[in-house]
């Protein structure tokens, strides 16, 4: 019984099984897992450093374990990818995308545990509905190359009214780097010239995200003080892009004042 995951699952239920026991069902040659599959599963978890690291491990690292070939490795990675996507709340074309949380929840499964950096742009229409989501670039573990042309050509082709920038930090640190801030400012200037403002730039990790707009790194977006906050939830407004408000300077937080001067609007402190 101790080395029979199938019997333990029948008697105690799937939740009673350890990680290695569950993994052993993916490592069988057909039929039910036996002692050899269970031992291979244990070696695999030890080799990569646990279940969470397994979801980020490349195929080659899995194949370094005796008994794991390309077929078994891909079977494991396919399931890991599916499990990550189950945690997402996907946004489809036409869905409302009116807050940083909505963007994060739609992408956290794919980007949160990714082993390399990816840079995406979410394209929005005038009613904050999603038009498309485009991967602009994919880089190494700590870098990705992006140009204004890469970002704004898809926006122009789709007729986007505004965009949200998104990239991940595989290191797990959600704080934007100096390079991230410089790139955001550069893209911000390009967006102003094209009339396609940037709503936000999110840095996503496995444990949460940072809104660069909330930290003041996207000038046209005036959010409340968010020092040290990861997950923020101010909502964007469809009125944010109207040039007749805020002395002709658009912002992205809904403002209830009829005499708004264009100064930063008061906001509620963000919750972690």
CATH number at residue 105: 3.40.140.10
Q: Is residue 259 in a domain? A: no
Based on the domain organization, do 159 and 203 belong to the same domain? Answer: yes
Q: How far is it, in rounded angstroms, from Cα 68 to Cα 42? A: 12
The answer on 242 and 172 residing in a single domain is yes
Q: Is residue 267 part of a domain?
A: no
- CA–centroid distance for 137 within its chain: 14
Interval 140-149 mean pLDDT: 80
Q: How many domains does the chain have?
A: 2
Is 260 a domain residue? no
Q: Is the residue at 55 inside a domain?
A: yes
pLDDT of residue 181: 94
Same domain for 212 and 144?
Answer: yes
Chosen domain end from 86, 111, 138: 86
235 and 104 within one domain: yes
Question: Do 27 and 126 belong to one domain?
Answer: no
Q: 161 is in which domain, residue-wise?
A: 100-248
Of 62-76, 86-100, 252-266, give the range with the top mean pLDDT: 62-76
Q: Is the pLDDT of residue 142 over 80?
A: no
Do 54 and 161 sit in the same domain of this protein? Answer: no
Of residues 204 and 221, more confidence is placed in 204
Pairwise pLDDT comparison (176 vs 82), residue with the higher score: 176
- Look up the CATH number of the domain holding residue 57: 1.10.150
Claim to verify: residue 123 and residue 205 sit in the same structural domain: yes
Residue 229 counted as domain residue: yes
H helices present in the chain, as ranges: 5-12, 19-24, 35-48, 51-54, 59-62, 70-86, 100-111, 148-158, 178-194
What's the pLDDT score for residue 71? 92
What are 216-269's pLDDT values in tens digits? 888 654 443 333 333 334 666 665 543 333 333 333 333 333 333 334 433 333
- Asked if residue 234 and residue 106 are part of one domain, the reply reads yes
pLDDT class of 89 with cuts at 50, 70, 90:
low
14 and 118 co-located in one domain: no
Question: With pLDDT > 90 as the criterion, what percentage of the chain qualifies?
Answer: 47
Q: What is the reported pLDDT for 244?
A: 36
Q: Is residue 266 part of a domain?
A: no
* Judgement on whether residues 78 and 106 belong to the same structural domain of the protein: no
Q: Between residues 80 and 254, which one has the greater pLDDT?
A: 80
- Whether 116 is covered by a domain: the verdict is yes
**Phi and psi at residue 222, in whole multiples of 5°?**
-110, 90
Q: Are 21 and 41 in contact (CB under 8 A)?
A: yes
187 pLDDT higher than 60: yes
Same domain, 29 and 164: no
């Amino acid at each position: 019984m101790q080395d029979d995951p199938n019997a333990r699952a029948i008697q105690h239920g799937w939740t009673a099984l350890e990680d290695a026991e569950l993994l052993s069902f993916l490592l069988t040659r057909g039929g039910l897992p036996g002692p050899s599959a269970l031992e291979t599963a244990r070696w695999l978890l030890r080799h990569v450093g646990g279940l969470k690291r397994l979801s980020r491990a490349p195929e080659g690292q899995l194949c370094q374990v005796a008994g794991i070939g390309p077929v078994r490795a891909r079977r494991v990675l396919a399931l890991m990818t599916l499990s990550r996507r189950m945690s997402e709340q996907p946004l489809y074309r036409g869905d409302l995308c009116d807050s940083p949380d909505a963007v994060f929840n739609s992408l956290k499964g794919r980007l949160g545990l990714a082993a390399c950096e990816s840079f995406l742009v979410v394209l929005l229409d005038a009613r904050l509905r999603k038009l498309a989501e485009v991967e602009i670039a994919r880089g190494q573990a700590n870098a990705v190359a992006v140009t204004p042309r890469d970002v704004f050509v898809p926006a122009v082709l789709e007729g986007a009214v505004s965009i949200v920038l998104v990239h991940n930090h595989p290191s797990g640190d959600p704080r934007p780097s100096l390079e991230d801030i410089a790139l955001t400012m550069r893209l911000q200037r390009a967006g102003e010239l094209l009339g396609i403002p940037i709503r936000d730039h999110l840095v996503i990790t496995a444990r949460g995200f940072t809104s660069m707009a909330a930290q003041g790194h996207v000038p046209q977006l005036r959010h409340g003080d968010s020092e040290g906050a990861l997950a923020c939830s101010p909502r964007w407004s469809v009125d944010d892009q109207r040039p007749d408000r805020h002395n002709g300077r658009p912002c992205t937080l809904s403002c209830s004042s009829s005499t708004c001067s264009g100064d930063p609007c008061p906001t509620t402190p963000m919750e972690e």
